[in-house]
Amino acid sequence: MSNEALALQARTKSNTEVTSEPVPGRLSGRVRAWLGQATWFWPVVTTTGLVLYPLGGPVLWQDELVTLDVARRSVDQILGLVPQVDAVHATYYLFMHFWVQVFGESAFALRLPSALAMGGAAGCVALIGRRLYRPATGVVSGLVFALTPAVTRFGQEARSYGFVVLAAALATLLLLRAVERPSVLRWAGYAASVAACVVFNAVSGAIVVGHLVGLVVLLWRRWAWRPVVGFVAAVGLAGAAAYPVVRLAMKQALRQVHWVPRFSLLETWQSTVASVEFGYAMLALALVAWLARPPRATAFLTVAVAMPLLAISIYSLGEVNYFFSKYLLFVLPASAVLVGAGLAAVRWRWAPVVGLVALALLGLPDHVVMRSHLSHSWYTYPLSRPMNTGLDYETAAKIIVERYQPGDGAVYQRGSAWWYMIDVGVKHYLPESVRPRDVFLLTTAGENHELWPVECATECLGGEPRLWVVVAGQTDDVISQLQASQAEALRSTYVQTWVTHSSGLTVGLLERRS
């Protein structure tokens, strides 16, 4: 090389070294490049954005009001509740107890943890797709997950289901990483994720069945004992950690889920996805994945979805049915990757984009329903609604506020109708300036270590000149819906002077007899 060439090379190297410090334009370019390469970024942003709009919109429904009521309790009261009922939600209740102390009790605040969990699950879905196939498939899979109507519905639910989906997605991702490069840390992470699945919803522990068969698929014709030993040890550790919850949950199962309806396999899948059309499209694209994608990866995803569903359906042949859409949401992450693989497999450049747009249009009507005012009480959507209509606690509270006078009292229907959570719901939507005394309340649900409070018969009735009575259903005589002793005491002292209705509720005003 000539002296001139050497000098030019030296100057070029020197200039490169001098200008290697990041400048604003180059830094922003690197950021843009990183965002383009980050498989998880757009699925996380899309999922979180869809779930956040409008997070506080739908009225809280009974399950969410249970969360609110328990989260308000002291830690001792929550621990006192768990041996009686809701052991499967104990971890979630404890988390929400501390959450509401910081962020408050609005519908937005109560649902935000679930929304963030669904966003995190979308990132895991994208990384699973990238690891099993390629980065583009990961992005498409994450966006399929984001567009799934059930992701919005339960990402906007103040219950533990978002946490379950996140734990399931993370467990699947960590399993793949641990099998690829086994280590104590990775298997420990997998064990923690499986344990989280169980303590947030015991039914989702069936994911281990799918992972066990999936492990065999991954190791087929390249058998190695180290991943097998790691898997067994991790599952054993997770089982030991979650055993107290499982033991209590099994004792409480008959009380808690005896009401669960039974639907066909196809109906249950449609309800799990929260859409008829979207559900059919997912099944069709999963078939495309089988026809065109690497068989090992596709087989792993298929058993990761199918085997837990099979195990739960067989276990549900007994007295209690666990094969119910809300309990099966943990299969959505692997399902989304399988669908994304089908979309990415089509040999046309724009197929993933067109496919995602088509899925978005198919699910659009369901997304609209998911965001409607009383949508959360339709927890079997799109199947038959469990109730004729939802309970509009917010409107009932507004009715009271419009005619409220200082010194008013309130009576809320409980007894056999405690599950409607009328007292908790209406009180939540009443402003601080409107707090009529709950005249029949003797012991709060927290003090009772149960989901319902203890009422007095008549001895708590005070001297309020007016009483607001809120009962379930549509009636022109609100007193007739109360317990017999309470109704008798009220009729002897008060007369109903006004009544109106909100969706699923009746609000009546009683005035003391002169």
Res. 1: pLDDT tops 60: no
Q: Are 336 and 363 in contact (CB under 8 A)?
A: no
CA Rg value for the chain: 27
Res. 16: pLDDT tops 50: no
pLDDT at position 457: 81
Residue boundaries of the structural domains of the chain: 40-377, 393-512
CA 327 vs CA 56, 223, 455: distances in Å: 23, 33, 33
Q: Are 46 and 360 in contact (CB under 8 A)?
A: no
Question: pLDDT class for 36, splitting at 50, 70, 90?
Answer: low
pLDDT digits (tens, 9 = 90+) for 178-218: 999 999 999 999 999 999 999 999 999 999 999 999 999 99
pLDDT at position 427: 97
Mean pLDDT of the chain: 91
pLDDT at position 152: 96
Strand 437-438, strand 409-412: pairing: parallel
In whole angstroms, give the CA distance from residue 64 to residue 143: 27
Q: Are 161 and 201 in contact (CB under 8 A)?
A: yes
Partners of 388 in the beta sheet? none
Please state, as a whole number, how many other Cβ atoms lie within 10 Å of the Cβ of residue 406: 7
Could you tell me which of 102, 111, 209, 210 has the C-alpha nearest to residue 163? 111
pLDDT at position 254: 86
Res. 5: pLDDT tops 80: no
